[in-house]
Structure 1
Amino acid sequence: MYFGLWWTRQGAPQESWGVPVQAEVIDANALSPSLQRALKREAVKPPPPPPTPEEKSLPEPLPEETPPPPQPRAQEQLPEPDAVDQEEVRRDAVSPDTRLREQEAKQRQQQVDLDEQERQKQEQQQKQREILARLEQVKAQRALAKRAADQAAARLQQLADWKAQQASDAAASASPPPGNPDADNGLKARYAAALTQAIRSNWTRPDNVPLSARCVINITQLPGGKVIDVQVSPSCPYDALGKRSVEAAVLKAQPLPYAGFESVFKRQLELHFQAEDN
């Protein structure tokens, strides 16, 4: 028997490894004159001398086999960082002495801040006390001035009252002029009617005051008709509202009639007042 086998081995093309070569075509005419001259000098260089017989006899070295390129390896997995707070790590890295000094410095600063706040508070309280003291002084000075003014006004009023009393006493003690006494009585009646009419014209009669009721009014006045005091007699049949209305009418009617009634003027006057229907 004849048996044969035809077997061939075809080498697989090896992949090229390394950095690819890049080239760029440049126009020589576009270069600068200095570069063009340098290229010309390179072009005119003489060719290298031929090899000597000794150099020819040497065998050409065999090309060294290029070692296969290292195969890429899978990237090692980086360890995941621990889930630890970096701030805690930095605090742990600080020494105990450093932390103690920082705490002491912080406490000193807090104490300084508290002292400054307390000082400012005391200054504000002191300013408020000074302001209140000045206000009290001003109030006291105003009270003294008002008291002095009231005392001066009271002395002036007393002096005026004394002068009026002296004039009234002198008029009362003077001898009556010669003439008919009935004329003096008629002047007194006209004076009383004038007073009653002046008061009645300034009086708003309450509805509950009867027209027929009489009310005695005691009036203290000065020459000229200025009223110093007015009081309604307790025997007046008017109620409290009616009495107050009569007193208000007397004060509103001042100055009371005086001109032409100087001879019958009285400082203390008792007037019988009767309401009328206007």
Structure 2
Amino acid sequence: MKESFSDTLRAVLYSLLLHGFLVLLIALGLWWTTESRVVVMPGPIIEASLVGPTAAPKPTSRKARAKPVPPKPAATPPPQEAQPKPDTAPPPEPPKQDLIEQQRVAAIAEQKAEDAKKEQEEKRQREQILLEQEKQEAERQKQLEEVRKQLADAEKKKNLEKERLKQLQDKRLADQAEADRKRMEQLMEQESKEAQTGAGGQDNDLTARYAAAIQAAVTQNWNRPESIPPGLRCTLHIVQIPGGDVISANVSSPCNADGASRLSIEQAVMRAAPLPYQGFEKVFNREINLNFKYDGQE
């Protein structure tokens, strides 16, 4: 683990404080041991006097040294109890290994504190990120709801428009059918008037029977679709040759039948060939317009 400059400076300050404390302890110990004390010997005061010549002795030789006169032994004082000497030894210096261990423990504690602080900061940042994500998710859900609502409104409007168009189309078809029906009625009324007043010098009764015979022949050969309701009215244009053989048959307007129904009528004409001819030679025409109708009865 790499120590920072602040850690090194802190360790040096701790070391200086410890050495200063040790020097202070040593100074106090020396001051305590050098304090002067007056030793008082118990007992009476002894007076002594010299015995013998008082003159100074002659010098014997320069080389001879004067022997010191040993003093008389003084009275031996009574023994005193030994007083304990003050402990002047300085306290042992703590080993450097303990100082290093303390520094290491302090560095570990400081690193743990920094790690805990860093972890708390990271936790706070994670919580902030989660809060922002939840806020963004809520905003996104709100936008999705608005889009779904707009799509639902558009779909509803589209369905309403389709329904309106369908109603208009149904109404248009109904109007067209009603117009075809009216034209058919007018055509039939006109043919009825012509039958009553004569048609080009022909026998009106024979013409009517000829049309009824062709109608019956076509109806007998008609494979009527089940979807055709009663009230069908169509103009059938037939091209034939003498003898009743059919060259072509086409359904033309006015006609209130659909395409499949019109095709079935044309096929019925071709299957009915040859059409009725004998007995109707007088009113025979190569091209005839037959008013084909179906009222629900075969």
TM range (shorter): 0.3 to 0.5
Superposition TM-score, scaled by structure 2 size = 0.35
- The structure with the larger Rg is 2
